[in-house]
Amino acid sequence: MPTIGWFEILIVVAIAIIVLGPKDFPVMLKKVGSMIGTAKKYFNNIQNEVSNIDIEDKPVEKKEEKKDES
């Protein structure tokens, strides 16, 4: 997978400033940052739910084993 370096990022930023204009560029950065933040929260929430499913399954098995021993 190719990596993106600072030079490539600089080129993309320069093209974005030319296309969007210097006045609209900060607004677009804010929107993109908000979308990235929302996506990170969404994926973090999914990861936590999957982790909780694994944690919830283990105690249930232990409770069943204790009932069988009695």
Query: Block means of pLDDT (10 residues each) for the chain, length 70 residues?
Result: 86 91 91 95 92 67 57
Identify the pLDDT of residue 46: 92
pTM of the model: 0.56
**Chain centre distance of CA 37:** 7
Per the CB < 8 A criterion, the answer to whether 25 and 17 are in contact is yes
**Chain centre distance of CA 43:** 5
Identify the pLDDT of residue 36: 95
Identify the pLDDT of residue 65: 60
